[in-house]
Structure 1
Amino acid sequence: MCPSAVPADDRYEELIAPLRPVIERIGADARQREREERLATEQLGWLVDAGFARWRTPVAWGGVGARLSDVFRAIAEIAEVDPNLAHVWRNHFSFIEDRVHAEGTAFDRDIVQRLGGGEFVGGGWSESPNPSGADITTRITPDPDGGWRVTGRKFYSTGSIYARWVTVLALDDSGARFVALVDAHDPGVRIGDDWDGFGQRITGSGSVAYADVHVPDERVLPYATRYPYQEQYYQTVMHAILVGIGRAALREGIEALRSRARGHHNGTTADPTRDPELLATIGTVAARVYAADAAFTASLGPVDTAVDRHTALRAGSGTESDPVLPVAGGQADPVLRAALEASWTAVAQAQTVVTDAVLDATTLVFDALGSSGTFRSLGLDRHWRNARTLASHNPRVHKRRLVGDLLVNGTSPLDRA
């Protein structure tokens, strides 16, 4: 494992120590699993058994009570050995974040405890382009016999192929947004292993269809109860995975250079490991990975600050029997609003640095190697493919514009429609 550019504190090191042997075990055959496109169902279970699913569950609810930054750091370590497995946790921890920071009802506590025990959650938020051009066509309607019915089709449903539950974003007849927690084993649910991207091939990011699926009242949640730093969360998970990919590309690039038996006839030395140009290339890759890691780490503090403020407000906003929901996504509090804007900006700026640096690193590493560096047995191409696919989820060109608009015109990203 490559060390982080910015060492973590003792609290994180204590948390991650028992997980590292599991991560190392996961990495033993990860390259082969990716090449054969075999799901990591067993490996996911190892992480659950090691307690990782309980990291964001509050101590009072029987969990670990880890900071969100701790989860991000751990995902980066998992991604260094298996970025596909690291990615499937994205929707799982997001739903836990929803319920921990929502009303605090008996249902919230029960489902969070169950998720910590291994009932995995996949996502159903985005949809493929459709003829109407609408972003969301999935519908939720009242069931005359009680509860609700969900009908629609989602894509980019990362983790759903591993899931016991799937969170589904749907509209009611008035256009209001709801999140339904759907039983993935319901006969009306059809999970397709049809992700067509050239990277992240075993994340289960393809389609899930819902045909008149019944959902009880307690599992239909107003979208407004979601945590207000969700954009920072989702994007930072991507950064964590990209950083892990960069570390892996650097480590494997070093290993591949060391294994070269001879240099190129245009090289400066017969021994490739003594060739200053090849060494400089590895040094450049290391610098790119360092920059990505440093930018990622720098963004974690502002996110934790926003989380802490929101947590404090929720703790004092009501009771289980009379909860008080945050106004406008929690932005009514000026301190929280400032923390949300600062964390959004930090993550958006990190996005450009992390993405550019890792894409550069996963390309440059081949310049230190010969033709054998492209051998499928090495699998170095998987790093660029996975990084490129992740980077395409949320194009950084739009974030650059929004950061510029904030700096030049004072337009807050929190006020977007």
Structure 2
Amino acid sequence: MASDTAVTSAPTRARVIASDAEARAVARDFAESVRPYAAQIDAERRIPDEVVDAFSGTGLWAITVPRAFGGAEVSHATLADVIATVSAVEPSLGQIPQNHYCLVEDIRLSGTEEQKSFFFELVLAGARFANAFSEAGGKNVAEIQTRLVADGDEVVVTGRKFYSTGSAYAHWIPVLAVDDEGLEKLVFAERGSDGLTVVDDWSAFGQRATSSGTVLLEGLRVPADRVFPMHTEYENPTIAGPFAQLTTLAIDLGIARGAIRETHDAVRAARPWIDSGVDSASKDPLTLERVGRLDIDLAAAEALTEKAGEAVDAAKPAADERNVAAASIAVARAKVLTTELALEASSRLLELGGTRSTLGAKALDRYWRNARVHTLHDPVRWKPVIVGDYVLNGTLPARHSWI
């Protein structure tokens, strides 16, 4: 059903975070404050308004705003860690600002100075962006049917979107559309605008509270000065692609962290197997092997994520074909491991916790459900092929949002 009320376009002034260390600390504190509500959020398929407001009020949604405009402009490794920290507790909550961060990056990459000043000030004040990019139809994910037509000092947008993550919680919903020349444009529309309808119809069995459903655009009129030439971000080498993938893999890293933490608790509470010859499950050598392997893989995933962030940092100041490709490859390596670990850890949680770990009150199945749904974002099976072609043949990866 439609849900276009109760979100204000004038948020209360948010905290302004000043450093990487502060961002990581604030994320840890906020995540712990949400822990008691995590299972409820999954069960009710909705993040309470007060939790979303508290999240953007922390200032974490503004940590990538450039320093020249008053933001912290944290490193990409810090950004990934912030997303993972929140996602470890509640990955739907960790996902709703993921596209917001990408949209802040779009503003940095393709906005005019006036657009940057206007929108970065909104972000610093606590405004939340959600995406209306992907569509359910078309021959592939890159085909966009939504159209933009210029009309004087306005543009008119018509189309239908799906996978519009965070739309029910947003103050602004930027829409990806194609103009008469076939060029992709990004149109920033305020939530509640005439012709823009959010339909909260996301029904997946995981990531239930992300509000990733339908956005309808029926003659939506937007001032022309809110349109960004998004096509330029991939016509030329930029960090847009690896940035988007880094923020995505951070959610999977968080799911793995959360599942492993729950596994430790579950094993400590479990009974030993009758043939183990030990008096507690935490001394069972077969269990210790599984837990040890998860810890090793988590350390590797976190290290690759840090290296991926550093590679994006290195490309950002003067992006070119070579350093953007290096960043994309570093991110792809991390994406493979975080995907595999999120699925493995969430499955091992149930195995090592035993039958009692499946009881409804514990809601531990949500880790596997979230991992399985979120890791379908793009086919990770393509990543080793791209990495192999790069290291063996020197082939540079394509430039788009999925690499």
Q: Same fold (TM over 0.5)?
A: yes
Change (3 A) 1:362 1:135: same
The two structures, once aligned, show a CA RMSD in angstroms of 2.2
Deviations 1:214-271 (A, max 9, x none): 01010111123448212111111121111111111111111112122x3333433242
Query: 1:190 aligns to what?
Result: 197
For 2:144 and 2:102, the matched residues in 1 are separated by: 20
Q: Secondary structure at the match of 2:158?
A: strand
Q: Secondary structure at the match of 2:228?
A: strand
Q: Are the equivalent residues in 2 in contact too, given 1:179–1:220 (CA < 8 A)?
A: yes
Q: Are the equivalent residues in 2 in contact too, given 1:155–1:205 (CA < 8 A)?
A: yes
Amino acid at match of 1:48: S
Is 1:165 aligned with 2:172?
yes
For 1:180 and 1:309, the matched residues in 2 are separated by: 26
Deviations 1:32-63 (A, max 9, x none): 22122222432221122221122112233222
The worse-fitting range, judged by mean Cα deviation, of 35-44 and 198-207 is 35-44
Q: Are the equivalent residues in 2 in contact too, given 1:288–1:358 (CA < 8 A)?
A: no
Q: Secondary structure at the match of 1:17?
A: helix
Deviations 1:104-157 (A, max 9, x none): 42122111111221221100111002589982110011225x311000001111
Query: 1:369 aligns to what?
Result: 353
Q: Are the equivalent residues in 2 in contact too, given 1:141–1:172 (CA < 8 A)?
A: yes
Write the mapping of 1:17-416 to structure 2, written as runs, cut at 5 A. Answer: 17-130=25-138, 135-143=143-151, 146-226=153-233, 228-260=238-270, 262-310=271-319, 336-414=320-398
User: Tell me, which stretches of 5 or more residues in structure 2 are unaligned?
Assistant: 1-18
Runs of 4+ displaced beyond 6 Å: 131-134
Change (3 A) 1:415 1:154: closer
Q: Percent identity?
A: 32
For 1:133 and 1:267, the matched residues in 2 are separated by: 50
Aligned length: 380
Q: Are the equivalent residues in 1 in contact too, given 2:194–2:221 (CA < 8 A)?
A: no
**TM-score normalized with structure 2 length:** 0.88
Query: 1:3 aligns to what?
Result: none
Amino acid at match of 1:346: A
User: Tell me, which stretches of 5 or more residues in structure 1 are unaligned?
Assistant: 1-10, 311-335
Q: Are the equivalent residues in 2 in contact too, given 1:100–1:109 (CA < 8 A)?
A: no
Change (3 A) 1:37 1:132: closer
The worse-fitting range, judged by mean Cα deviation, of 187-196 and 31-40 is 31-40
**TM-score normalized with structure 1 length:** 0.85
Query: What is the CA distance between 1:416 and its match in structure 2?
Result: 8.2
For 1:52 and 1:213, the matched residues in 2 are separated by: 30
Query: 1:323 aligns to what?
Result: none
